[in-house]
Amino acid sequence: MKANLSQREAEKTYGITGDDLTPSVSWSLYSLRKDWNAVKDTVSPWWGECSKEAFNTGLDQLARALKNWGDSRKGKRRGRPVGFPRFKSKRKARPSIRFTTGAIRCEAGHAVLPRLGRIKLHERAALGDARVLSASVRFERGRWFVAFTVEHDVHRPAPTRPDIAAGIDLGVKTLAVVATSTGETFEVPNPRHLGKALRKVRRLSRTASRRRGPDRRTRQEPSNRWRRADAARNRALGKVADQRRDVIHKLTTRLAATYGTVVIEDLYVAGMVRNRRLARHVADASFGEIRRQLTYKTGWHGGTLIVADRWFASSKTCSECGAVKTKLALSERQWTCTTCGTVLDRDVNAAVNLARPAASGADSNGRGADRKTGLARQVAVKRQPGRTAPTVRETGTVPRQRGTASEEAHS
């Protein structure tokens, strides 16, 4: 459906027909910029009042979107089909701009940006001697944020317990249960920020729904009262998101900095979210994000991340004797082994199972794909984070707690 629509749009706009997959107009950033420069005087004579990066940001994103769409159509891109880029209204899109050239600095609670000059920040942030590559400014929940992409040498020490493997069972009741190969276990409680704050969000949503909101059908603009209520709701939701991000970062940092090997389950998050009763809590616990962070953070510290196979029955296997149950309802919170009589917390049992094969098969080579795990045939080592030298060239987001590599602040 979506693809067809895109195809039609493409045909209409760019004269692409049938199997001809090459557009008659070049879609590279370079040529889009050239086209823009040719028409900007007539289309928008006010262009000089803005930073040229404002236009460049949009053209860059358009070029990427078109490339993704083209690659997806030609089967060169994995994952879900990518649709044709849609028009973005300035009212609905999140305002953002990325500065890539010019005077970009961050010093003593101020950001210096091209065209905008010196801007006071809420946070006292400074980038020190890091080399700034770009700065992205965005408007979110009533505040302006700036994020710097920098190049900076960061020393991240090797894990403090390099020989110990930790199995992580991500859960709903508790955010994570950690079991080490030395037999220790501990729980990381699920903050359930969303659950707590949800009442407030619901109340604010009710307020908003009683006011005259936007109507897509009649093109009714929302009332100012609705806008205020909507903003309040977004602030409440945003606070939840911030707190959740904080908890997850602290957990993954701690794991990656402590254990030489971290083992997690390959949870089928997309499938779990489709299960409506679990969905909200699963999304709340952000399993996918935890895995993503563990992947790069274990790489930073020189540790190893092992993702156990999705079908490895970590919950259904006895961590004492290895007996496997065929059935285990999600409601059974306790593990009671019918073979050896072991009684354990369900999540602890699973975490211990995850930690074990990693410890017994552990070698220091860190390239999991070629090695034998030595135990539990169900465990397949799926992937490894790239091993990174202590000097990391960073481009993406960097951990905030280090305070040096990335500074995000609002003004």
Instruction: Identify whether 265 is a catalytic site residue.
Output: yes
314 secondary structure, DSSP code: T
Q: Rule CB under 5 A: is residue 339 a binding residue for Zn ion?
A: yes
Which of 53, 230, 347, 407 is catalytic? The answer is 347
Nearer to Zn ion, 264 or 318 (CB): 318
Residues near 291 by beta carbon (within 8 Å), at least 6 away in sequence: 264, 267, 307
Residue 3: which H helix or E strand, with range? helix 2-14
Burial of 60 (0-12, 13-18, 19+ CB in 10 A): middle
Closest approach of Cβ 338 to Zn ion, in Å?
A: 8
Q: Rule CB under 5 A: is residue 350 a binding residue for Zn ion?
A: no
Which of 53, 169, 284, 394 is catalytic? The answer is 169
Quote the CA–CA distance of 299 and 387 in Å, as a whole number: 5
The secondary structure of 58-114 as a DSSP string is HHHHHHHHHHHHHHHHTT-S-SSPPPPPPP--TTTSPPEEEE-SS--EEETTEEEET
Site size for Zn ion (CB under 5 A): 8
Q: Rule CB under 5 A: is residue 343 a binding residue for Zn ion?
A: no
Closest approach of Cβ 319 to Zn ion, in Å?
A: 8
Q: Rule CB under 5 A: is residue 320 a binding residue for Zn ion?
A: yes
**Binds Zn ion (CB under 5 A): choice among 337, 351, 398, 405:** 337
**Binds Zn ion (CB under 5 A): choice among 318, 351, 376, 398:** 318
Which of 265, 284, 394, 407 is catalytic? The answer is 265
Judge contact between 384 and 295, C-beta under 8 A. Answer: no
Closest approach of Cβ 308 to Zn ion, in Å?
A: 19
Q: Rule CB under 5 A: is residue 170 a binding residue for Zn ion?
A: no
Residue with tokens 């709701």: 233
Is the torsion defined by CA of 258, 254, 368, 266 positive or negative? positive
The piece of 97-105, 193-201, 316-324, 370-378 that touches Zn ion (CB under 5 A) is: 316-324
Which residues form the interface with Zn ion (CB under 5 A)? 318, 320-321, 323, 337, 339-340, 342
Catalytic residue list = 169, 265, 347
